[in-house]
Structure 1
Amino acid sequence: MIDLHYWTTPNGHKITMFLEETGLAYKLVPVNLVKNEQFEPAFLEIAPNNKMPAIVDHNPVDCGKPISIFESGAILQYPAEKTGQLLPKDLRGRVEVNQWLFWQVAGLGPMPGQLIFFLRNAEKHPFGIERYTKETERLFGVLNKRLEGREWLAGDAYSIADIATYAWAAPYNLFGLSLDTYPALERWLEAVASRPATERAYAIAKEMNPQAPQPVRRAEREIARAAS
């Protein structure tokens, strides 16, 4: 059994997507960011950076005491390596998946995260908005180019790289972006969104927090295009 300390953010969605995809048994432990529960001493014991998500694996392969893990990229890697799911077994495939996983956690996450901060700040800072808009657009361009002629982001199969990246690419509308200039990305977003595990993961988020943004699906985009 895995305890998932979770709230309805992109980084939180990554882990529910993985767990729903693989069918691993887990228990949700809400960490309500609105109530600052990420600063509770019990949570800091497993996530010293006071960020969620975090997990506790009560059944590690060494049969020792429970293992706690923070940082979403490390969390994804751990059960993927433990179970052999959503991570290639061959060296070159693993390298390809891991480099795109780290691309996401280093860029397509921090950059749009900063953009959201400046967009929502009551005191508008044009320099910050411009800087992080351009960097987010650049990263979306990198992602679109990578997906041209490819079904999945890394390797020949759906992987933790797709899961990690989807969680931050899906809310493109919150970043003020349009998918009109990212056709390969748009196709991939719909492919990931239509997976039953993805639908279940976002349903969990909506049930826990009705205000949590949901992915904008192709049908909704087509309606918006027709109305514009």
Structure 2
Amino acid sequence: MIELYTAATPNGHKASVTLEELGLPYAVHPIDLGAGEQKQDWFLKINPNGRIPAIVDRGNDNFAVFESGAILVYLAEKTGELMPADEKGRSRTMQWLMFQMGGVGPMMGQANVFHRYWQEKIPPVIARYQNESRRLLEVLDGRLAQSRYLAGEDYTIADIANWCWARTHEWSGVSVDGLDHLQRWLGDVADRPAVQRGICVPRREEALETRDRAKTEELIREVRGFLQQ
């Protein structure tokens, strides 16, 4: 059983979509980001950086994994799926995964902050992050003009990672007009049943349940228990 600590964000969905694609049994523990639950001592024992998602693999001596990209690699290698076995295919998958981790996620995340949440609207800053996000989506479009998926003809964790962010382009205020190959890929991935299930994790009712103090305290005791085993 995989214990998944997550919230309804692109990075959180990367983990839940991957778990759904792989068909691994997992339990969802929604983290209330607004309440700062990810900064509590019990969670920092799983992820010292205080960010979601994180997993604990109970079937592997309660091994904890944090950082969304590392989680995807761990799960792919654990199952031998969503990661090519050949050297070049694996490298291409890792390259495009790192492209998302170092580029698409951070740039779109900053676009979200300044476009949606920052108290003062600073047009040059907003334009800087939106323009860079658009440029990165154009890079994806160029790659997808050459192959069906990012690492080649096979669907991999690189597609999951990039798709979970690229699908949110409207929220970042970034247009995908004219990026026909990207739009084709966005639709192809969105049609996958496992993806449709994964982006609904955690369910709204699950997230609301975490605000119940008794349930939260029970979860904390449980986590402490299996981390000490």
TM-score by length of 2: 0.87
Report sequence identity in percent: 47
Task: Trace 1:101-180 onto structure 2 (pairs within 5 A).
Answer: 101-120=97-116, 121-180=118-177
The runs of 5 or more residues in structure 2 that have no matched partner are 209-229
Residue 83 of structure 1: aligned partner: 79
Query: Match of 2:59, SS?
Result: coil
> For the residues of structure 1 that align with 2:191 and 2:202, how far apart are their CA atoms?
16
Query: Match of 1:180, SS?
Result: coil
Residue 66 of structure 1: aligned partner: 62
> For the residues of structure 2 that align with 1:206 and 1:183, how far apart are their CA atoms?
32
Task: Trace 1:188-203 onto structure 2 (pairs within 5 A).
Answer: 188-203=185-200
The runs of 5 or more residues in structure 1 that have no matched partner are 211-228
Q: In the superposition, relative to structure 1, how do residues 136 and 101 fare at CA in structure 2: closer, same or farther (>3 Å)? A: same
Shift in Å, 1:204: 2.9
2:89 counterpart letter in structure 1: G
Shift in Å, 1:133: 1.2
Shift in Å, 1:178: 2.4
Query: Match of 1:151, SS?
Result: coil
> For the residues of structure 2 that align with 1:158 and 1:190, how far apart are their CA atoms?
13
Q: Which of residues 94, 97, 104 is equivalent to 1:98?
A: 94
Tell me if the contact between 2:115 and 2:173 (Cα under 8 Å) persists in the aligned partners: no
Higher relative contact order, chain-length normalized (CA < 8 Å, sep 6+): 2
> For the residues of structure 2 that align with 1:93 and 1:19, how far apart are their CA atoms?
21
1:69 counterpart letter in structure 2: V
Tell me if the contact between 2:134 and 2:175 (Cα under 8 Å) persists in the aligned partners: no
Q: In the superposition, relative to structure 1, how do residues 190 and 206 fare at CA in structure 2: closer, same or farther (>3 Å)? A: farther
Root mean square deviation of aligned Cα: 1.3
> For the residues of structure 1 that align with 2:162 and 2:124, how far apart are their CA atoms?
26
> For the residues of structure 1 that align with 2:176 and 2:58, how far apart are their CA atoms?
41
Shift in Å, 1:209: 5.6
> For the residues of structure 2 that align with 1:142 and 1:46, how far apart are their CA atoms?
34
Would you say how many aligned residue pairs link Structure 1 and Structure 2?
Answer: 206
1:181 aligns with 2:178: yes
2:18 counterpart letter in structure 1: F
TM-score by length of 1: 0.87
Shift in Å, 1:59: 1.2
> For the residues of structure 2 that align with 1:105 and 1:118, how far apart are their CA atoms?
19
> For the residues of structure 1 that align with 2:207 and 2:42, how far apart are their CA atoms?
22
Query: Match of 2:34, SS?
Result: helix
2:28 counterpart letter in structure 1: L
Shift in Å, 1:206: 4.8
1:5 counterpart letter in structure 2: Y
1:8 counterpart letter in structure 2: A
1:33 counterpart letter in structure 2: L
> What are the Cα deviations for residues 42-81 of structure 1, in whole angstroms up to 9, with x where unaligned?
1000111111000001112xxxx22101100000000101
> For the residues of structure 2 that align with 1:36 and 1:200, how far apart are their CA atoms?
26
> What are the Cα deviations for residues 88-133 of structure 1, in whole angstroms up to 9, with x where unaligned?
1111110010010011000000001011111121211122112111
1:154 counterpart letter in structure 2: A
